[in-house]
Amino acid sequence: MEYRAAAFVAERLTQLGFEVVTGRQACLSEARMGVPHADEISLHEEMALNEGVNPYWLEQMRGGHTAVVGIIRGSKPGPIVALRFDMDCVEVGESQDPAHAPVKMGYRSRRQGLMHACGHDGHIAIGVGTAVQIAERIEELTGEIRLLFQPAEEGCRGAKAMIEAGWLDDVDYFFGGHIGLKSRTLGEVVASSSGFLSTTKLDVVFRGKAAHAGESPELGRNALLAACSASLHLHSISRHSGGATRIHVGQLVAGTGRNVIAEEAHMKLETRGVTEELNAFMLTEAVRILEGTANVYGVVCQREMVGSGVSAEADTALIPWIQRECERINRIHTVIPTLAMGVSEDASLMLRKVKERGGKAAYLMFGSPLTQGHHQPCFDFDEEVLGIAAELLIQLVFACPEWTVDKEDLIRTTDGDGG
C-alpha cells in the first residue's frame, strides 16, 4: 500500500499550491481491482501512522484509496495537460549485498519482501520535481496541468479507478513515461512507446480434500499437485504465429503440514499478448487448462480476475513535436521515435481513454543504465535520469498549447512482429 508515498505527494503538492484531491474522489472505489484484504490494508494504515504519516491524509485515503491528483491552472485558457506517475512497489525482496547502492547509501527498502524494483520511486521523484518547476513558472501557464499519481500499476489494477473517477475525460494532452525498460543509455529518450502488451491477471484457488498422507493417502484430493500440474501446463501453452505472447505463474502457495494432503493451493498468474486477440488466446487456453487440471485431480478450481491491461498505441502524431522539444535539452543526445515496450502498462487504459475523447497521448522511455533488470533484487537506475525526465516533461507541458499538429507530421510506423 502506497500510504507513505501518497501522503508525501499530497503534502508536497499542497505546499506548492496545487489543488489536491485524494481518496475516493481520486479513484472510484469499486473500479479498483485486486484490492488486498481489509486486514492487510489496516495493518499498512497502522504502520503508516506509526511511521509518522499525517493522519489528515491517511484518513482521506483509508481503505486503500491512495490515488492523488494535483491540479493547477494558469490565468489564461488553454489545453488540459495530464502527466501520470505511478507510485507502487513490487513483491521482490531487495538485495542485502553491500555493493548494492541502496544498501551502501542507506535507502534500501524497509519492508521485507517489498521493493521499488521497477523504478516507480523514481517516477514519484520526477513527478514531484516537475511539480516544483511548474509551480515556479505558474505565471507562464495557460490552461490546466493535472498531475495523476497512480497506485497499483503493477498488476494493472489502478488506472481504471482513476479513469472512472473522471480524471481523463477532458484531457487534451497526456504524457506517461518509464525509466529504463528498453532504453538503457543516459541521455536517450524514446518519444513514443508502442507494443503495450494486453494482459489479464488471475488469482486461482484449487480446493481439494485433506487426508493423512501416510495412513490413507487415497482419501485425499491433492490441491498442491493440481496447482503444480496446472503451472507446468500453463507454461507449455503453444507459441502463436500472430505475435508475442506471455504466460506466467508468479506465485504458488499450497498445503499446510508435511504429512497432510494439501486441501488448498493458491496461484497468482497472468497472460499477455501484443494484441488483445493474442491475450484472449492465452486466456482461453489458460482457463481450459485450469479446469481440465482440476478434473485430473478431482479438485475444484476457482478463478478471479484481479487485473487487466489493454494493448494501446501512443499517438505517432506527437513524435515530431516531442523530438523537437528533446533537441532543446542538452542532456538528451538521442531520440528514438518509437520502440516496442514488450511489457504491459496500466497507463495503456489511460492512453485509450484520452484518444477516444479526441486527445493525444504519448508514453516516453527515459533512458538509464540499470544495475540489474526490472523486478530483480539488485535493480537500480542512474539518478541523473530523474532531472532529465523532469526537464523534458516541463518542456512538453509548456509547449503543448503551441502545438498545431498537421496531417503532414503524421508518421506511419508499421510494427512487424514475430511470435
Pure H helices in 170-222: none
Nearest to 338, CA basis, from 304, 357, 313, 358: 313
> Could you tell me the smallest distance in angstroms from the CB atom of residue 401 to a copy of itself?
33
Give the residue with the Cβ less far from a copy of itself, 70 or 151: 151
Give me the least distance between CB of 306 and a copy of itself, in Å please: 9
Least distance in angstroms from the C-beta of 351 to a copy of itself: 17
Task: Look up cell 528533446; give the residue.
Answer: 326
Closest to a copy of itself by CB, 192 or 293: 293
Using only C-alpha atoms, the chain has a radius of gyration, in whole angstroms, of 23
Q: Which is nearer to a copy of itself, 37 or 358 (CB)?
A: 37
Instruction: Compute the residue count for the chain.
Output: 419
| Segment holding 181, helix H or strand E | none
**Joined grid coordinates for residue 415:** 510494427
Q: How far is the CB of 338 from a copy of itself (least distance, A)?
A: 9
Alpha helices (runs of H) in 32-188, residue ranges in sequence order: 38-50, 55-61, 101-104, 120-136, 159-164
Query: Which CB sits closer to a copy of itself, 128 or 210?
Result: 210
User: Which triple of cell numbers denotes residue 192?
Assistant: 513514443
Q: How far apart are CA 336 and CA 136, in angstroms?
A: 30
Question: Comparing C-alpha atoms, which of 288, 310, 291 is closest to residue 200?
Answer: 310
Collapsing DSSP to helix, strand or coil, 28 comes out as coil
Based on CB atoms, which residue is closest to a copy of itself, 66 or 198?
A: 198
Q: Cα(350)–Cα(83) distance, rounded to whole angstroms?
A: 11
Could you tell me which of 267, 266, 280 has the C-alpha nearest to residue 308? 280
Q: Measuring CA to CA, which residue among 70, 57, 65 is closest to residue 148? A: 70
Distance in Å, CB of 113 to a copy of itself, minimum: 6
- The C-alpha atoms of residue 16 and residue 38 are separated, in whole angstroms, by 33
Closest CA to 127 of 25, 8, 1, 19: 8
CA nearest 395: which of 183, 147, 80, 175?
175
List all residues 6 or more positions away from 129 whose beta carbon is below 8 Å from its beta carbon: 386, 387, 390
First to last CA, the chain: 36
Nearer to a copy of itself, 272 or 352 (CB): 272
Residue with smaller CB distance to a copy of itself, 17 or 292: 292
- Smallest distance from the beta carbon of 191 to a copy of itself, in angstroms? 16
| Residue 19, beta-bridge partner list | 71
Report in angstroms how near the CB of residue 209 gets to a copy of itself at its nearest. Answer: 8
Q: Which CB, 128 or 274, lies closer to a copy of itself?
A: 274
Comparison of 99 and 402: residue with beta carbon closer to a copy of itself: 99
DSSP class of residue 363 equals E
Residue pair 66/59 in contact (Cβ under 8 Å)? The answer is no
Amino acid in position 265: A
Tell me the HSE value of 343 on the side-chain side, using a 13 A CA sphere.
Answer: 17
C-alpha cell at 416: 512487424
Q: Pick the closer one to a copy of itself by CB: 15 or 251.
A: 251
**Nearer Cβ to a copy of itself (168/204):** 204
Q: How far is the CB of 8 from a copy of itself (least distance, A)?
A: 23
